[in-house]
Structure 1
Amino acid sequence: MSSVMNEGSSPAYGPAPFFSKEATYAKPGFSRWMVPPAALAVHLCIGQAYAFSVFNVPLSRVIGITESAPDDWKLTTLGWIFSLAIFFLGISAAFAGKWLERVGPRLTMFTAACCFGSGFLVSALGIYTHQIALLYLGYGVLGGIGLGLGYVSPVSTLIRWFPDRRGMATGMAIMGFGGGAMIAAPLSVALMNTFKSATSVGVAQTFVVMGIGYFVSMLIGSLAIRVPAPGWKPAGWTPPTTASKMITRNHVHIDQALKTSQFYLLWLVLFLNVTAGIGVLGQASLMIQESFKGSVTAAAAAGFVGLLSLFNMGGRFFWASSSDWIGRKNTYFVFFALGAVLYWLVPQLGASGNIALFVLAYCVIMSMYGGGFATIPAYLADMFGTAFVGGIHGRLLTAWAAAGIAGPVLVNYIREYQVAHGVTGADAYTMTLHIMAALLVVGFICNLLVARVSDRHHMSEADVSSLAGNASAAH
């Protein structure tokens, strides 16, 4: 199958502002395989968010250097930095969706680069002046906005370039978000070791270097991104019929999507899948140590967490690519059915002393956690079309923000309740895991209820033609 622009499929080219959407239309002969690296240049950077915890202990010793001084920040105070970043990721993704569809991916990705990079620099200033508010503003607010814009901006573009392989395309990009932490964690430690001295823990200098480096990488991605001309499709590709895999040929406006039951069902599908996964992800190290006391050391538990990260990353590509063949709805059926069984069995596997099966179960769970993120954009494109999929995806990511709070709260408070009532060790997690299994059963039902969007929500052919015509005229 040819993956280059068809001659005659592009509108006439004319002068346009560099950061305008019109300036990003690909010229004939452009290979669509140049787009995934541009998306990865952004997602590998913003994936650093998952590695932010490596800064927590050094930041709690900015004054004391070797140990925390009375005036140093407490870990509970520092914990709000990451929470704010995830909150603003969800908020910015939701509110910037319409803007993304109007201005295109280049300006959105450039804005993300500015916000994410400057977030590190403002935070570095906060460390120098020891003002926690600047870290909240820098990494939490500015960085969080950069995360949200950077997360959604390449996705809709990839879906338009790969209508024949939507899952694979989004999986490639969102895999980068899962893998960004694997680069950022050792890089952060190496930089801090380089800059630390008798008077500095090296975090401020590390933030400056990473802020500049991430800005440059994301800038390159924004400059390299291209969008297909209106009406373009891969040579020789014929869109599937609507009935085959619930893939619509029509488009739903971003505001109209919020009036459909499908949007809210898919919101719950993502929320429940992420709640279950993120809830145990933060407790994985402690959970395996308590399940196999004396057999699993802290170092081995750290390796276990690293292994989970690999499956989280790999699952994003594997499951999203698989969804191109088995369908998005069936893929989520697997997530919920298999996930519920595994969550229910994990306590028994721990009690039996079978470390190998315990680890394998968690690896599969984490692969499906990552796969849920990567599959949902293609699911949305199948249901609502591609005209506004970036904005719709952004609004759906509020489910991630909600799950980021609900998952850890469920795990921590249920465990605290269990311990307060005399339940100790790994047994304190049994009820939590069973509740997570129940949540996945609810998710299975929500996914079962997803049906094709009613024709009354579809944009008219005149409206769709008007969108394409306006783009061509402006171009």
Structure 2
Amino acid sequence: MTATAASAPSQQISSGFRWTQLIIGLICMAMMANYQYGWTFFVPPMAKAHSWQVASIQVAFSLFIAFETWLTPVEGFIVDWLGPRGPKIMVAIGGILAACGWLINSRADSLEMIYVGAILSGTGAGAVYATCVGNAVRWFPDRRGLAVGLTAAGFGAGAALTVIPIQKMIVSIGYADTFFWFALGQGVIVFVLAWLLRPPQAGEVPTASAVKVLQSKTSSNPGQVLRSPLFWILYLMFIAVSASGLMVTAQLSIIAKDYGVAQTIILFGLPTLTLAGVIDSLCNGGARPFFGWVSDQIGREYTMAIAFGLGAIAYWLLGTAGTTPWAFVICAAIVFFTWGEIFSLFPSTTTDIFGPKFATTNTALMYSAKGMSAFVVPLANVLKTHTGSWHAVFVVASIMNILVVAAALFIVRPMRLSMSAAEKQSPVAQPAE
């Protein structure tokens, strides 16, 4: 009785503190959002100023995504290895690198320098992303989908607050100075907040006894994860869904221009592209905690089936009915709402399967799939040029989503049920930490 009473105040303090950790992570992620979702607004003025081909500029976007994702397993390993100091050190370094990337972009007079900036900013953004997601899944074993969703929402919706300022600054002071001032502002905020982050200690988080979804009772190290067939199935699913979404997020302004709706004024004096940028960021960010919460209630695979099934419909609609201003805004919003949830569903599923002890590294390994998907983005331009329209691109995206729905229901779900049954029959189980 005494031990229980003594532990109660600690549980209350930890409960409040873990939400503080989540909010700090969310803000840091929001400061990284423009590096991906604000990029599309810089492409046209860069192409015009330097007479560069859009496809050549978009190589920088692919490099950003690649370095944002492929280095995260290394960054996650360093975080786990450093222990309590890991999150603060890695996020601080990430903020500095991301800022340096855009500072280079602000002065770049060649595509090669733009590529260097993309590599630095991608490395920094990935360090922040992997660390904050890894911290969230460890602090919230009981609400893992929601916690990761809220954290990832910062990265998805953070750009909504700056879509209009970025566009206005590009018009008024030029894209180069816009790169410069946003780099400084975002970098300083992330660097300061980084020193407040830390992982939970033993006894600081609630048990997962009331969890409604399948969760492993053991933790797997990265080597064991990489030897798991289930990990690679999820990895391929992530690539498929991520690629379909990136084809739209990276090309949004170009698609709107090709449809002839980009500058059409439709609401409160805002052109179609600007309004779509705001709404899409909100939908992208909102999808992450929403579907994360849903997955906590009904299971990860069923949620994947619902979200990605709706995504298949959304891509088809954007390709067939999205050619008028309001239709473009609505269809694009649905696309973003049914794509953003991958960044809550896959990390939470990975931690459910492989445990929390090496969560930062393991979720980073899964997140690296986004880097593989980035190289599909230029292929979308090739397909569009070959066919003469975006319709074929969106048909391919729809098919990819349908295949992932089938994999979630008929491959992943049965495999997880089999693993859970085998774990219950095992006489010895190492508790997840």
Secondary structure of 1:269's aligned partner: helix
Question: Which residue of the partner structure matches residue 44 of structure 1?
Answer: 30
Question: Which residue of the partner structure matches residue 191 of structure 2?
Answer: 219
Of residues 291, 312, 331, the one that matches 2:303 is 331
Question: Which residue of the partner structure matches residue 121 of structure 1?
Answer: 103
1:371: Cα distance to partner? 1.1
Question: Which residue of the partner structure matches residue 155 of structure 1?
Answer: 133
Compared CA separation, residues 370 and 238, structure 1 to 2 (3 A): closer
Which moves more between the two structures, 95-104 or 357-366? Answer: 357-366
Question: Which residue of the partner structure matches residue 391 of structure 1?
Answer: 361
Question: Which residue of the partner structure matches residue 380 of structure 1?
Answer: 350
Secondary structure of 2:376's aligned partner: helix
Question: Which residue of the partner structure matches residue 22 of structure 1?
Answer: none
1:281: Cα distance to partner? 3.9
Q: What TM-score does the superposition give when structure 2 sets the normalisation length?
A: 0.82
Question: Which residue of the partner structure matches residue 114 of structure 2?
Answer: 135
Secondary structure of 1:31's aligned partner: helix
1:74: Cα distance to partner? 5.2
RMSD between aligned residues: 3.6
1:263: Cα distance to partner? 0.6
1:264 aligns with 2:232: yes
In 2: Cα distance, 1:55 partner to 1:294 partner: 15
Gaps of 5+ in 2: 1-5
Of residues 260, 274, 298, the one that matches 2:242 is 274
Compared CA separation, residues 311 and 29, structure 1 to 2 (3 A): closer
Deviation readout 1:77-113 (Å, 9 max, x if unpaired)? 4333332211111121133221121122111111111
Of residues 396, 413, 428, the one that matches 2:382 is 413
Question: Which residue of the partner structure matches residue 369 of structure 1?
Answer: 339
Compared CA separation, residues 114 and 27, structure 1 to 2 (3 A): farther
Secondary structure of 2:205's aligned partner: coil
In 2: Cα distance, 1:357 partner to 1:57 partner: 23
Secondary structure of 1:324's aligned partner: helix
1:36: Cα distance to partner? 1.8
Secondary structure of 2:339's aligned partner: helix
- Judging by fraction of residues, say which structure has more helix: 2
1:294: Cα distance to partner? 12
CA contact (8 A) 1:265 1:447 kept: no
Question: Which residue of the partner structure matches residue 42 of structure 2?
Answer: 55
Question: Which residue of the partner structure matches residue 21 of structure 2?
Answer: 35
Compared CA separation, residues 105 and 60, structure 1 to 2 (3 A): same
Question: Which residue of the partner structure matches residue 96 of structure 1?
Answer: 75
CA contact (8 A) 2:322 2:331 kept: no
In 2: Cα distance, 1:191 partner to 1:277 partner: 27
Question: Which residue of the partner structure matches residue 245 of structure 1?
Answer: 213
1:146: Cα distance to partner? 0.2
Alignment size in residue pairs:
414
CA contact (8 A) 1:6 1:29 kept: no
CA contact (8 A) 2:95 2:125 kept: no
Q: What TM-score does the superposition give when structure 1 sets the normalisation length?
A: 0.75
Matched to 1:366, the amino acid is F
Question: Which residue of the partner structure matches residue 65 of structure 1?
Answer: none
In 1: Cα distance, 2:141 partner to 2:135 partner: 10
CA contact (8 A) 1:256 1:457 kept: no
Of residues 160, 163, 167, the one that matches 1:182 is 160
In 2: Cα distance, 1:438 partner to 1:206 partner: 38
Gaps of 5+ in 1: 11-25, 62-67, 420-427, 469-475
1:84 aligns with 2:63: yes
In 2: Cα distance, 1:284 partner to 1:294 partner: 9
Question: Which residue of the partner structure matches residue 425 of structure 1?
Answer: none
Compared CA separation, residues 58 and 309, structure 1 to 2 (3 A): same
Compared CA separation, residues 53 and 366, structure 1 to 2 (3 A): closer
CA contact (8 A) 1:333 1:447 kept: yes
1:389: Cα distance to partner? 1.8
In 1: Cα distance, 2:265 partner to 2:196 partner: 45
In 2: Cα distance, 1:214 partner to 1:202 partner: 16
Which moves more between the two structures, 305-314 or 101-110? Answer: 305-314
Of residues 89, 112, 116, the one that matches 2:94 is 112
In 2: Cα distance, 1:348 partner to 1:80 partner: 28
Compared CA separation, residues 99 and 81, structure 1 to 2 (3 A): same
In 2: Cα distance, 1:120 partner to 1:226 partner: 27
Question: Which residue of the partner structure matches residue 3 of structure 2?
Answer: none
